[in-house]
Amino acid sequence: MPPIAIDPAVFAPDAAPAGTRALADTLIEKASGAPDNWSLGPAEVRARRERGITPFIIGPKSPRAETLTIDGPDGLLRLRVIAPENPSAVYLHFHSGGWTLGTFDQDDPRLERLASELGFACLSAEYRLSPESPYPAGPDDCETAALWVAHEAAPRFGADRLLIGGESAGAHLAAVTLVRLRDRHGLTPFSRANLTAGSFDLGLTPSARLFGDQKLVLGTRDVRMFAANFLQNGEDLSDPDVSPLYADLSGLPPAIFTVGTRDPLVDDTLFMAARWAAAGNEAELSVWPGSAHVFTSLPDPNAKPAFDKVMAFLKG
């Protein structure tokens, strides 16, 4: 794996494909005329997303998806399974949504590609959401799901190669889960990690602080509000279990870090990739010009080549 390198050219205003720039203009225009999500409240925003009122590509749902139920920290925990016959690997996925929004079936199109083209058994974990269930509920659920996969994937799916990943809050939860498994259970069962547009410093990196309200999927206020929903008990923002950028990252698996240059969390990715490599782990940095937050789930010309790169990395 080549050393991490940051190409200044991808950050140039004219570096983005025309379609990426046009998409950004469309998203900003639509958001400017839409109600303020924070005035609607989480329940209404979730309902709107269920009705397809979101910039992200949510559907179609996989016709072969099934649901596994396992014991969780506070009742039953569901895992959505999209799997071929005789899987080559098991991929544990955590969805995006700022620890507040999102569902475990929202990423079926990307998980279906992993199942169909790479032969992965994809498990998307349902975890408790904020503000109803703040920290540490979501991370506890993700830790439980990962422990189940570590112990049960091979007998259940016949594959012992384990992968983990997620987008945005899901990338944060994946990183936290990897550290928890190592520190709390002495386990490092996952061989590769896919960390896309993660929020790794809940105290806000410079790019998150400076982004402002550009109405391009995610802004500074949104990052602050999501974190406030998630953390309700005066948690230390530099606690590694809260902000994994501050964790001891040694002994973790190779990871691919994907982000667009018009994402307020771009610094989170740049900093985390650097710390991952500095800890002695393999890290691949994938930065895409002009793309917004979690652009791999948007109709962005950069989305397919970026996800193709993720797939090649996970395939190994």
Overall number of domains in the chain: 1
242 part of a folded domain: yes
Grade residue 198 by pLDDT with cuts at 50, 70 and 90.
Answer: very high
53 part of a folded domain: yes
Grade residue 219 by pLDDT with cuts at 50, 70 and 90.
Answer: very high
Going by C-alpha positions, the residue among 202, 290, 217 that lies closest to residue 247 is 202
8 part of a folded domain: no
- The least confident of 35-49, 95-109, 235-249, 282-296 is 35-49
Round to whole Å and give the CA distance between 149 and 190. Answer: 10
Provide Rg for the chain, Cα atoms.
18
Give the residue numbers spanning the domain of 107.
Answer: 15-315
Please report, for the domain that includes residue 290, its CATH number.
3.40.50.1820
pLDDT digits (tens, 9 = 90+) for 223-232: 999 999 999 9
pLDDT > 70 fraction of the chain, expressed in percent and rounded: 100
pLDDT digits (tens, 9 = 90+) for 60-103: 899 999 999 999 999 999 999 999 999 999 999 999 999 999 99
Res. 2: pLDDT tops 90: no
**Structure confidence at residue 52 (pLDDT):** 81
Res. 59: pLDDT tops 90: no
pLDDT digits (tens, 9 = 90+) for 7-32: 999 999 899 999 999 999 999 999 99
Contact between residue 60 and residue 247 where contact means Cβ atoms under 8 Å apart: no
DSSP-assigned letters across all residues of 156-224? HHS---EEEEEETHHHHHHHHHHHHHHHHH----EEEEEEES----TT--HHHHH--S--SS--HHHHH
For range 308-314, the mean pLDDT: 98
Single-letter residue type at 149? V
The pairing of beta strand 120-125 with beta strand 75-82: antiparallel
1 part of a folded domain: no
CA atoms within 13 A on the CB side of 166: 35
142 part of a folded domain: yes
Provide the whole-model pTM.
Answer: 0.97
- The least confident of 53-62, 121-130, 137-146, 275-284 is 53-62
6 part of a folded domain: no
Grade residue 54 by pLDDT with cuts at 50, 70 and 90.
Answer: confident
Res. 222: pLDDT tops 80: yes
pLDDT > 90 fraction of the chain, expressed in percent and rounded: 92
pLDDT digits (tens, 9 = 90+) for 96-133: 999 999 999 999 999 999 999 999 999 999 999 999 99
**Structure confidence at residue 142 (pLDDT):** 98
